[in-house]
Structure 1
Amino acid sequence: MIYSRMAVIGCGLIGSSVIRAARAAGTVGSVAVGDASEAHRAEIEALGYADLVTGDLAEAVADADLVVFAVPVLAMGPAAATVAAALKPGATVTDVGSVKVGVAESLRAALPASVYLVPGHPIAGTEQSGPAAGFAELFRGRWVILTPEADDRSAYRDAVNRLSDFWIALGAQVDIMDAAHHDLVLAVTSHLPHLIAYNIVGTAADMEEVTRAEVMKYSAGGFRDFTRIAASDPTMWRDVFLANRDAVLEVLGRFTEDLQALSRAIRWGEGDKLFDLFTRTRDIRRGIVAAGQESAEPNFGRDRAASGGGPKP
């Protein structure tokens, strides 16, 4: 056991997976869940993996050694302000948001100095959402990035190490990174791909020459992958793009320039340029597979969610 009591604020796919994984690994004693959604609370109670389920967020964090904020990124600050007075001195507070600079600033502004804030981001997920979508294996072999504050106190370093041990026990690999660099990296690897997926699926839906039935009937593998990504939670991704707008716009500008160059190569029949690009991108794909970041786990999670979302036997 690493933490005697864990509180999770917001219990969708990631929050519920943290609970399931922590229960399976035996890293926490009791678990409290605070969620504003009455429907979510009823679902969590039916699933039976929390000791306390409440709509009172302050009640949820009372006496917790670890508090995990798993709400959309623009809701992090308001949620932290709601629970600030109820937090146990010395507690570790973290989050699972995919934007770190803005989230860290909003959390620090709301939290008391008596707690240890260690922002975090597990790079894992499926397009499913809600408490039943979670599963204990979601973080296995995946990276969790922690972006600690500039705090040289030994107690703070201990809190960072303890949280790192927690994620490792859940099967994840942990890396430490500067928050601004994290946001740029994720703009490239996650945020821009989602933006492209939302846009290309929307474009297909708007084309008068292609009917909706044809889009669904004749979807090839590439388009199916885009629709899977574009099925992700709208509220979460709206908040991500607004919270990480500077990094996303920077990467989007570079992408637009590269796309124009690719358009020119196609227009002028420059096959060598196309071949060189496709060769480089294939090598990147092979590197991702070799690094173990391509597996059946996301599909497993989606299949489990469709059948009730329980953890793997």
Structure 2
Amino acid sequence: MSRNLKTGVMYPRMAVIGCGLIGSSVIHAARAAGVVGDVAVADASAEHRARIQELGYADLVTADPAEAVKDADLVVLAVPVLAMSGALAQAAPALKPGATVTDVGSVKSAVAEVLTPLIPDGVFLVPGHPIAGTEYSGPDAGFAELFQNRWVILTPLSREDDPYLEAAQQLVDFWRALGANVDRMDDKHHDLVLAVTSHLPHLIAYNIVGTAADLEEVTQAEVMKYSAGGFRDFTRIAASDPTMWRDIFLANKDAVLEILGRFTEDLQALSRAIRWGEGDKLFELFTRTRAIRRGIVAAGQETPEANFGRDHRTP
């Protein structure tokens, strides 16, 4: 169930480093919910900075992370996973005591490992991951509704001091105000779960679309013309940002390889069932997988996110 708390301004100043789909959506959603005051954006791309200024959803736009985070109460790292340590290293000297730093990366263990040593005393690092997205990217791609009824997983550090716990709870309340459902999880468990639910499906999509493109017996025009629904779904996933997904697979390689090994074994078993005409095994698998799909629909997680992005994207 979507929850949108009427909390008033929670963070008088928010800084977002990296303003693609997720970064810009955080800004739109936070402004719509009324939970932030001023918004500063740092982005390495001159083209992105110019576009953000044209769109007018940030009060300050800069190339310098340190300038963006000055006096910020909440700092959101929304750059690719392997770029986070560099971005935080630039920003760290300007972080004010009491600020909360979070991220939106799809890998949590590796992120916590590289970011924790960079956090100054008195600043609170609470890693996070909003499980939401579309195949679009860039400053135009964001929209306020992206997080509605989506899950955000926070992986707080192993700290029990009251100031840290209060900072973590405030971040929970922030995401809930944006319409998200929030869960807390151990970072290594998060990475294993996401390897199953997100990373491996993307890897399969990239691979199957690449395989189709490489088939000499099938032209690219035929692939585009005769794409059935399943293949179209794969192409949507495979259109996701290449830099982001390269970083995810490299940063979460242990969990991805573990799940990929299990998937390969299951795929070989499926191949044998097809080869030997074992229809009962195929029927049993397809029945189980249909039940999982129905469970996802019943949980309210079937919303076609790509349609949100397409509808809200500036032409």
Normalised-by-shorter TM-score class: over 0.9
Q: Which residue of 1 aligns with 2:5?
A: none
Alignment correspondent of 1:42: 50
Find the partner of 1:172 among 180, 185, 205: 180
Q: Contact (CA 8 Å) 2:14, 2:37: kept in 1 or not?
A: yes
Alignment of 1:8-19 (within 5 A): 8-19=16-27
Structure 2: runs of 5 or more not aligned: 1-8
Give the alignment's TM-score, normalised by structure 2.
0.97
Give a deviation string over 1:257-290, Cα, whole Å, max 9, x none: 0000000000000000000000000000000000
Further displaced range: 136-145 or 291-300: 291-300
Pairwise CA RMSD of aligned residues?
0.7
- Cα offset, 1:197, TM superposition: 0.1
Match of 1:147 among 155, 164, 184: 155
- CA distance in structure 1 between the aligned counterparts of 2:94 and 2:156, rounded to whole angstroms: 23
Give the Cα–Cα distance (whole angstroms) in 2 for the partners of residues 268 and 210 of structure 1.
Answer: 27
Distance 2:286 2:232 in 1: 20
Q: 1:191 aligns with which of 199, 207, 211?
A: 199
Correspondence list, 1:59-208, <5 A: 59-208=67-216
- The answer to whether the Cα contact below 8 Å between 1:77 and 1:107 also exists between their aligned partners in 2 is yes
Shift of 1:298: 3.0
Deviates most, 193-202 or 100-109: 100-109
- Residue 171 (structure 1) shift: 0.2
Cα offsets for 1:216-268 (capped at 9, x unmatched): 00000000000000000000000000000000000000000000000000000
User: C-alpha distance in 1, partners of 2:114/2:88?
Assistant: 8
State the AA in 2 paired with 1:250.
Answer: E
Alpha-carbon distance between aligned partners in 2 of 1:304 and 1:54, rounded to the nearest angstrom? 25
Asked whether 1:209 is paired with 2:214, we answer no
- Distance, in Å, in 1 between the alignment partners of 2:283 and 2:267 is 15
Mean alpha-carbon deviation: is it higher for 292-301 or for 251-260?
Answer: 292-301
The 5 A counterparts of 1:207-286 are 207-286=215-294
1:137–1:297 Cα contact (<8 Å) kept? no
Q: Tell me how far apart the structure 2 counterparts of residues 102 and 213 of structure 1 sit (CA, whole Å).
A: 41
Q: Contact 1:10–1:35 (CA<8 Å) still a contact in 2?
A: yes
CA distance in 1, matches of 2:311, 2:205: 21
Alignment partner, residue 21 of structure 1 = 29
Aligned 8 A contact 1:138 1:298 in 2: no
1:304 CA drift (Å): 2.1
Separation in structure 1 between the aligned mates of residue 110 and residue 121 of structure 2, nearest angstrom: 18
- May I ask how many residue pairs the two structures share in their alignment? 307
Residues in 2 aligned to 1:225 and 1:20: alpha-carbon distance in whole angstroms: 27
Unaligned runs of 5+ in 1: 309-313
In 2: Cα distance, 1:220 partner to 1:185 partner: 29
Asked if the contact 2:200/2:259 (under 8 Å) is kept, the reply is yes
CA contact (8 A) 1:127 1:302 kept: no
Task: Give structure 1 regions of 4+ aligned residues with deviation exceeding 3 angstroms.
Answer: none
Aligned to 2:6: none
Q: CA deviation at 1:113?
A: 2.3
- Displacement of 1:56: 1.1
Q: Deviations 1:193-212 (Å, cap 9, x if unpaired)?
A: 00000000000000000000
